[in-house]
Chains A and B, each alone.
Chain A
Amino acid sequence: MANRTGALERPAAAKEYSSSLWGDAFRRLIRNRLAIIGGVIVLSLLFLLFFGPLVAPYPYQEQHLADLVANNNQPIGPFTGKYLFGTDDLGRDLLSRMMDGAQISMTVALVVQAVVLLIGLPIGAAAAWYGGKIDAILMRFTDVIYAFPDLLFIILLTVSFRDTAIGSAMNGVLLVFVAIGVVSWVGMARLVRGQLLSLKETEFVEAARAIGVSDFRIVTRHLLPNALGPMIVAVTLGIPGAILAEATLAYLGIGAQPPKASWGKLVVDGQQYLRSEPHLVIFPALIIALALLSFTFLGDGLRDALDPKLKGKQ
């Protein structure tokens, strides 16, 4: 557009109006250093998810038996030249196995939380918004899921859907992830319901009704942005739980099958050498901790970025 009064226009143009919550939030997010660090680590872990096997120094299942024998059949310790993080008892390079394990552990983190949001959010929102009988029915259903033994439910789900399309995806591992999500959405549903219950009594909801905003739009555009903070915290805090749940299942022989290993499985496998070869536990545990920490930083940053009231402080 023609620029007639350039001097006056520049400051206005610098602050281009954006009616999108996300655009504003992103601008605030990239000013938050911790969130950026978290985001970069999460991105590199996601990179491993897709390209882990390509950048790994060795194939994850390759046994370096000659070196193992030279080491008296004991797992090789870390920082010994050839193997940065050492090898396990079968002579497999730990670093390569961790890089490969990112596939399972990062997928479990994302898939489980996606399923949790996909089920928990609509159920919690519907219960809070409609109230009355719908609320009672949905929340009793939630209670039933909550009361059911998780492990048993996951095993039942994996067994009964084994022969379907989702059951065979990713060697059957995806089904396990979905099953973990299916037992973990209860907390999210309750959280969303609680948040929305208090929010729906606020005057801005009445004001939105008074200008004829539809119920669906009130919930999605007016209420949920106000509840995002606690929801994001719940999602980030749920990721460690999901990674560990996968490890538990791997321990029971459900999910990733040897020689594939997730981070959780690596920790579990390393346990028996905890005294003599602690690196087998320490490195996988460290990467789990790193992943959790960076998700938390990113989540914290997102929460702050999505709260316009904190805007002035940055």
Chain B
Amino acid sequence: MTVSEESGGPGSPTVAELPNDITLETEEGRLLAEQLADSRHHARKLLEVRNLSTQFFTRDGVVHAVDDVSFELEYGETLGLVGESGCGKSVTALSLTRLVASPPGKIVSGEIIFDGIDIMKLSSEEMRLLRGRKIGFIFQDPMTSLNPTLPIGFQIAESARLHLGLSRKASDDRASELLAKVGIPRAKERMGDYPHQFSGGMRQRVMIAIALACDPMLLLADEPTTALDVTIQAQILDLIRSLSEEFGTAVILITHDLGIAAGMCNRINVMYAGRIVETGMVDDIFEQPKMPYSWGLLDSLPRMDEEKGTRLRTIEGLPPDLINPGPECRFSPRCKYVHDQCRVEEPQLSEREGEGHLARCFGTEPGGWIK
């Protein structure tokens, strides 16, 4: 058998031809597939998250890592989850696939409706069949997220073999096709290479190929470029954007870099201390942010037009302890515009100017003190 055929050879599905339902031998799998097929005819959101709370039960107390978070995602949309370290971005993403380490973590309440399926009600086996098939995951550090003892071809093909029931040959063909798609030169020859033979950027491309192996409907990208060089960052982001457009995949992009979010996303959720503090279309967030924390994030971006030698601006102070948060606005200890009201009561998300633009701040509510 020779190796170079144009696109996998006869019989092996190309990306476009892939069956869009779960093909499994198990009863649960077939039910799930029917459910999925059903859901496609209705006009609904791809993802609805309602009042999601995830907590970690540690020796020091209960950490409210994600606290009453609600948001929605349309089919094919790109949503940014933005915030500093420890604000609950990653835990939110892990909760969506029920991958939060348990113990100590636990999703204590909330509803996650993914493509019409109530994720919280699935058995762990059904959940496993959904992961990788319908929801792809890209992790932060490509150096440690690939198994050092397995050839990358195997790691890409594994998901297709598990979920699509492809044969060894067909899944290998598909893997090399994907590898070429994510921009690895001589993809076919490199299938047998191991992760350490790739650079960081190349490995992240491999991770993307793994995440897209089954043509998922949702891609969760958890800081996909944080561990990479700046020049590579742009390439990886471009790749994620072009592939998600090509496959029609919705993306949740988790990042602490507003610049990245601005370039990639349709909408942005700003998270702080386990809560969403502002959400809106990307233009609204950048042009008329309505929450002092968002201003802080925007201000702390380095600028090209700044004079040399100016110090980078930071947000003073540290995020609050998420064990037993008080009733006050969680940003109030660090807020320059804080009033007495903020220290006793937490504002709710309320509407601002712009489509779906919500902010959690008394000061910018109509009649508030911040202009």
Q: Chain A residues with Cβ under 8 A from B176's Cβ? A: 17
Evaluate contact between A311 and B194: CB separation under 8 angstroms.
yes
Given A17-B172, A203-B139, A207-B207, A212 and B4 contact (CB-CB distance below 8 Å) = no
Evaluate contact between B4 and A9: CB separation under 8 angstroms.
yes
Q: Chain B residues with Cβ under 8 A from A15's Cβ? A: 189, 192
Evaluate contact between A211 and B2: CB separation under 8 angstroms.
no
Q: Chain B residues with Cβ under 8 A from A226's Cβ? A: 147-149
Q: Give the distance in Å from the alpha carbon of A271 to the alpha carbon of B71 in the complex.
A: 81
Please tell me if A21 contacts chain B, counting CB pairs below 8 Å: yes
Q: Chain B residues with Cβ under 8 A from A5's Cβ? A: 4
Task: Pick from A1, A19, A312: contact of B153, CB below 8 A.
Answer: A19
Evaluate contact between B159 and A222: CB separation under 8 angstroms.
no
Q: How far is the CB of A71 from chain B (nearest CB, A)?
A: 59
Q: Chain A residues with Cβ under 8 A from B81's Cβ? A: none
Evaluate contact between A308 and B194: CB separation under 8 angstroms.
yes
Q: Chain B residues with Cβ under 8 A from A225's Cβ? A: 147, 149-150
Q: Give the distance in Å from the alpha carbon of A266 to the alpha carbon of B364 in the complex.
A: 92
Please tell me if B230 contacts chain A, counting CB pairs below 8 Å: no
Evaluate contact between B4 and A206: CB separation under 8 angstroms.
no
Please tell me if A276 contacts chain B, counting CB pairs below 8 Å: no
Given A24-B192, A211-B137, A212-B129, A1 and B2 contact (CB-CB distance below 8 Å) = yes
Given A1-B1, A209-B131, A308 and B146 contact (CB-CB distance below 8 Å) = no
Evaluate contact between A209 and B99: CB separation under 8 angstroms.
yes
By beta carbon, the residue of chain B nearest A218 is B147
Q: Give the distance in Å from the alpha carbon of A112 to the alpha carbon of B35 in the complex.
A: 52
Evaluate contact between A204 and B145: CB separation under 8 angstroms.
yes
Evaluate contact between B192 and A204: CB separation under 8 angstroms.
no
Interface residues of A in 1-37 (CB under 8 A from B): 1, 3, 5, 8-9, 11-13, 15-19, 21, 24
Q: Chain B residues with Cβ under 8 A from A16's Cβ? A: 3, 192
Evaluate contact between A222 and B147: CB separation under 8 angstroms.
yes
Given A211-B158, A212-B159, A309 and B196 contact (CB-CB distance below 8 Å) = yes
Evaluate contact between A202 and B144: CB separation under 8 angstroms.
yes
Evaluate contact between A21 and B150: CB separation under 8 angstroms.
yes
How many interface contacts (CB-CB < 8 Å) are there between A and B? 119
Q: Give the distance in Å from the alpha carbon of A62 to the alpha carbon of B207 in the complex.
A: 68
Please tell me if A66 contacts chain B, counting CB pairs below 8 Å: no
Name, among B157, B176, B207, B210, the residue most crowded by chain A CB atoms within 10 Å (CB to CB): B210
Interface residues of B in 200-223 (CB under 8 A from A): 207, 210-211, 213
The tally of residues in B whose CB lies under 8 Å from a CB in A reads 47
Interface residues of A in 219-273 (CB under 8 A from B): 221-222, 225-226, 228
* Binary B-proximity of A30-73 (CB < 8 A = 1, otherwise 0): 00000000000000000000000000000000000000000000
Q: Chain A residues with Cβ under 8 A from B150's Cβ? A: 21, 221-222, 225
By beta carbon, the residue of chain A nearest B220 is A210
Evaluate contact between A1 and B132: CB separation under 8 angstroms.
no
Please tell me if A208 contacts chain B, counting CB pairs below 8 Å: yes
Interface residues of A in 289-313 (CB under 8 A from B): 306-309, 311-312
Q: Give the distance in Å from the alpha carbon of A211 to the alpha carbon of B178 in the complex.
A: 16
Q: How far is the CB of B66 from chain A (nearest CB, A)?
A: 18
Given A19-B154, A308-B196, A211 and B188 contact (CB-CB distance below 8 Å) = no
Q: Give the distance in Å from the alpha carbon of A174 to the alpha carbon of B176 in the complex.
A: 49
Q: Give the distance in Å from the alpha carbon of A206 to the alpha carbon of B188 in the complex.
A: 27
Please tell me if B352 contacts chain A, counting CB pairs below 8 Å: no
Q: Give the distance in Å from the alpha carbon of A212 to the alpha carbon of B146 in the complex.
A: 15
Interface residues of B in 271-296 (CB under 8 A from A): none
Evaluate contact between A212 and B163: CB separation under 8 angstroms.
yes
Please tell me if A213 contacts chain B, counting CB pairs below 8 Å: yes
Name, among B128, B145, B150, B194, the residue most crowded by chain A CB atoms within 10 Å (CB to CB): B150
Q: How far is the CB of B78 from chain A (nearest CB, A)?
A: 19
Given A211-B137, A212-B128, A203 and B153 contact (CB-CB distance below 8 Å) = no
Q: How far is the CB of B17 from chain A (nearest CB, A)?
A: 21
Please tell me if B5 contacts chain A, counting CB pairs below 8 Å: yes
Evaluate contact between B162 and A213: CB separation under 8 angstroms.
yes
Please tell me if B141 contacts chain A, counting CB pairs below 8 Å: yes
Please tell me if B97 contacts chain A, counting CB pairs below 8 Å: yes
Given A17-B191, A306-B149, A207 and B4 contact (CB-CB distance below 8 Å) = no
Q: How far is the CB of A21 from chain B (nearest CB, A)?
A: 7
Evaluate contact between B2 and A24: CB separation under 8 angstroms.
no
Q: Give the distance in Å from the alpha carbon of A277 to the alpha carbon of B15 in the complex.
A: 77
Q: Chain A residues with Cβ under 8 A from B133's Cβ? A: 212
Please tell me if B130 contacts chain A, counting CB pairs below 8 Å: yes
Q: Chain A residues with Cβ under 8 A from B168's Cβ? A: 19
Q: Give the distance in Å from the alpha carbon of A18 to the alpha carbon of B169 in the complex.
A: 11
Please tell me if B151 contacts chain A, counting CB pairs below 8 Å: yes
Given A209-B99, A212-B133, A309-B196, A17 and B188 contact (CB-CB distance below 8 Å) = yes
Q: Chain B residues with Cβ under 8 A from A9's Cβ? A: 2-4
Name, among B145, B149, B153, B158, the residue most crowded by chain A CB atoms within 10 Å (CB to CB): B149
Q: Give the distance in Å from the alpha carbon of A101 to the alpha carbon of B133 in the complex.
A: 57
Interface residues of B in 1-24 (CB under 8 A from A): 1-5
Please tell me if A214 contacts chain B, counting CB pairs below 8 Å: yes
Q: How far is the CB of A305 from chain B (nearest CB, A)?
A: 12
By beta carbon, the residue of chain B nearest A131 is B103
Q: How far is the CB of A169 from chain B (nearest CB, A)?
A: 37
Known: A24-B192, A210-B131, A211-B131. 20 other contacts (CB 8 A): A8-B4, A11-B189, A16-B192, A17-B151, A17-B172, A17-B188, A19-B172, A203-B139, A203-B141, A204-B144, A204-B145, A204-B147, A207-B139, A207-B207, A209-B99, A212-B159, A213-B162, A214-B128, A226-B148, A226-B149
B residues apposed to A, CB below 8 Å: 1-5, 97, 99, 128-133, 136-137, 139, 141, 144-151, 153-154, 157-159, 162-163, 168, 172, 176, 186, 188-189, 191-192, 194, 196-197, 207, 210-211, 213
- Of all A-B residue pairs in the complex, the 4 with the closest CB atoms, nearest first, are A211-B132, A210-B137, A212-B132, A212-B131
